[in-house]
Amino acid sequence: MASNGGDKKLHIVMFPWLAFGHFFPNLELAKLIAQKGHLISFVSTPRNIDRLPKLPPNLASHLQFIKLPLPKLHNLPDNAEATTDVPYNVVPFLKKAYDALEPPLTSFLESSNPDWIFYDFAPYWVGPLASKLGIKSVFFSIFTAPAMGFLGSPSGLVGTDPIRKKPENFLVPPPWVSFPTTVAFRYFEIMRISDSLSDDNESGVSDMYRMGAGIENCDIVAIRSCSEFEPEWIQVLENIYRKPVLPVGQLPSTTYDDNEKEEEKNDTWRWVKDWLDQQRKGTVVYVAFGSEAKPSQEEVREIALGLEKSGLPFFWVLRIQRGPYDEDVLKLPDGFSDRIRGRGVVCTSWAPQLRILGHESVGGFLTHSGWTSVVEAIQKSKPLVLLTFLADQGLNARVLEEKRMGYSIPRDERDGSFTSDSVAESLRLVLVEEEGRIYREKIKEVKDLFVNKERQDRYVNDLLAYLEEYKKTKLGAKAG
Amino acid at 234: I
- Positions of E strands within 237-313: 245-247, 284-288
- pLDDT in the model for residue 257: 57
Strand arrangement, sheet containing 136-141: 63-67, 39-44, 11-15, 116-119, 136-141, 220-223, 245-247
Residue 116's φ and ψ, nearest 5 degrees, are -140, 150
Strand-strand pairing, 344-347 and 314-317? parallel
pLDDT band at 6 (very low <50, low <70, confident <90, very high): very low
Residues contacting residue 392 through CB under 8 Å, at least 6 positions apart: 143, 144, 147, 371
- pLDDT in the model for residue 153: 94
Domain ranges of the chain: 11-253+452-479, 262-450
- pLDDT in the model for residue 2: 41
Whether the predicted pLDDT of 3 surpasses 50? no
* Architecture of the domain delimited by 11-253+452-479: 3-Layer(aba) Sandwich (3.40)
CATH 3.40.50.2000 fits 262-450, yes or no: yes
Q: Are 443 and 405 in contact (CB under 8 A)?
A: yes
Whether the predicted pLDDT of 464 surpasses 70? yes
As a whole number of angstroms, the distance between CA 98 and CA 78 comes to 14
Portion of the chain with pLDDT greater than 90, in percent: 80
Comparison of pLDDT for 160 and 384, the residue scoring more? 384
Asked whether the domain spanning 262-450 has the same topology as the one spanning 11-253+452-479, the reply is yes
What mean pLDDT is predicted for residues 430-444?
A: 96
Residue 220's φ and ψ, nearest 5 degrees, are -140, 160
Q: Is residue 123 classed exposed, middle or buried when 0-12, 13-18 and 19+ CB atoms within 10 A define those classes?
A: buried
- Positions of E strands within 99-213: 116-119, 136-141
Residues 226-270 pLDDT 10s? 999 999 999 999 999 999 999 999 999 987 655 444 555 678 899
Whether the predicted pLDDT of 477 surpasses 80? no
As a whole number of angstroms, the distance between CA 471 and CA 10 comes to 10
Amino acid at 223: I
Element (H, E) at 193: none
As a whole number of angstroms, the distance between CA 179 and CA 194 comes to 26
- pLDDT in the model for residue 54: 87
pTM confidence score: 0.93
What mean pLDDT is predicted for residues 80-95?
A: 92
- pLDDT in the model for residue 353: 94
CA distances from 138 to 8, 131, 218, 295 (A): 19, 11, 6, 34
**What angle (nearest 5°) sits at the alpha carbon of residue 17, between those of residues 13 and 18?**
115
Residues 43-72 pLDDT 10s? 999 999 999 988 889 999 999 999 999 999
pLDDT band at 318 (very low <50, low <70, confident <90, very high): very high
Please provide the DSSP assignment of 443-454 as one string.
HHHHHHHHH-HH
Q: Are 458 and 466 in contact (CB under 8 A)?
A: no
- pLDDT in the model for residue 199: 65
- pLDDT in the model for residue 75: 87
Residues 117-167 pLDDT 10s? 999 999 999 999 999 999 999 999 999 999 999 999 999 998 866 777 788
- pLDDT in the model for residue 5: 42
